[in-house]
Structures are given as structure tokens and as C-alpha cells.
């Protein structure tokens, strides 16, 4: 099946089975490797993208469900106000270690900040507990979200 999907403002024509997860279209077909594979079952959040601004696990999102929705990935999240604030806070607070999960962490955090400019600890738990970090950067992720919210 041929699909036209809009990613970061650009329309791409792709030919794949309709049940193909968006993750593989992004990474293997379009070559946008910033979005990561972690589990394939929406258990870890590494593959998080935004679909019409909503944080979404691309590893279980079939390509035929996207339609005309706008997909935003880590490569373009810095163009949004919330995304840019989160990226800056991530650097200022030195959150990152191995960095593999951080695309997904940043996408979840950017969506949180866009919807709740001043998130509470409980908001942070709700928005971020779907994202696993094996390096254990959680303490700094929490601090960085609060830092971004205060800027």
C-alpha cells in the first residue's frame, strides 16, 4: 500500500503494508534514526513521537492509522517552544548518559510541558513513567522538567 505521511512538515510517500509500525517507516524507510527502538510493545517509550502534538508510541502505531495527522519527531521538536525549552534544560541540567532513551524522554517531556506549563511531581510521574531509562537519569529528568517550566 502507498501512503503519504506528513513528518516534521514534509510529506513523504511510502510503500508498505498498512500494519507496519510508524517506527520502522521513520527509521528504516525515511532514514530518520533519532526515534529509537526499545521494546516494540509500548513498554519503554524510546520510540515516542508526537502525532498532532500527542505523545505516541510509534512502535505500535500502524502507518495506516496516521492519515493526514502531523507527525513530529525528535529531529524537529526543537522548533516548538516546549521542545526547545526541554532540550535546553536537558543540556543545562546535564541529564543525558548513554542517550539512547533520551529522544523518547524529550518527546514525552515536551508534550507534558506543552500541555501543562507548570507540571507538578505527580504530573511528571504520569507523563514520564512510560519512559524507561536504563542509565537511571530519572532524578535529573525531573529536575530538568522543572527547570524548563521555570524558564
Q: Which residues contact 79 (CB under 8 A, 6 or more apart)?
A: none
Tell me how far, at minimum, the Cβ of 48 lies from other proteins, in Å: 12
Between 4 and 98, name the residue whose CB sits nearer to other proteins: 98
Tell me how far, at minimum, the Cβ of 57 lies from other proteins, in Å: 12
Short-list 43, 73, 41, 75, CA closest to 60: 41
Between 4 and 91, name the residue whose CB sits nearer to other proteins: 91
State the Cα–Cα distance between residues 101 and 98, nearest whole angstrom.
8
Tell me how far, at minimum, the Cβ of 25 lies from other proteins, in Å: 7
* Residues in touch with other proteins (CB under 8 A): 16-17, 19-21, 23-25, 27-29, 31-41, 43-44, 46, 73-75, 77-78, 87, 90-91, 94, 96-103, 106, 124-125, 128-142
Tell me how far, at minimum, the Cβ of 59 lies from other proteins, in Å: 10
Between 27 and 50, name the residue whose CB sits nearer to other proteins: 27
Tell me how far, at minimum, the Cβ of 112 lies from other proteins, in Å: 12
Amino acid at each position: 500500500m502507498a501512503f503519504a505521511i506528513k513528518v516534521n512538515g514534509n510529506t513523504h510517500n511510502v510503500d508498505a503494508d498498512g500494519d507496519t509500525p510508524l517506527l520502522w517507516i521513520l527509521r528504516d524507510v525515511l532514514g530518520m534514526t533519532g526515534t529509537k527502538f526499545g521494546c516494540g510493545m509500548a513498554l519503554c517509550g524510546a520510540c515516542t513521537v508526537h502525532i498532532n502534538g500527542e505523545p505516541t508510541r510509534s512502535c505500535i502505531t500502524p502507518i495506516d492509522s496516521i492519515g493526514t495527522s502531523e507527525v513530529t519527531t525528535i529531529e524537529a521538536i526543537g522548533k516548538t517552544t516546549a521542545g526547545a525549552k526541554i532540550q535546553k534544560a536537558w543540556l543545562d541540567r546535564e541529564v543525558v548518559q548513554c542517550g539512547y532513551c533520551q529522544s523518547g524522554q524529550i518527546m514525552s517531556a515536551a508534550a507534558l510541558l506543552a500541555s501543562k506549563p507548570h507540571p507538578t511531581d505527580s504530573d511528571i510521574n504520569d507523563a514520564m513513567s512510560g519512559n524507561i531509562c536504563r542509565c537511571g537519569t530519572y532524578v535529573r529528568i525531573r529536575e530538568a522538567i522543572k527547570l524548563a517550566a521555570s524558564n
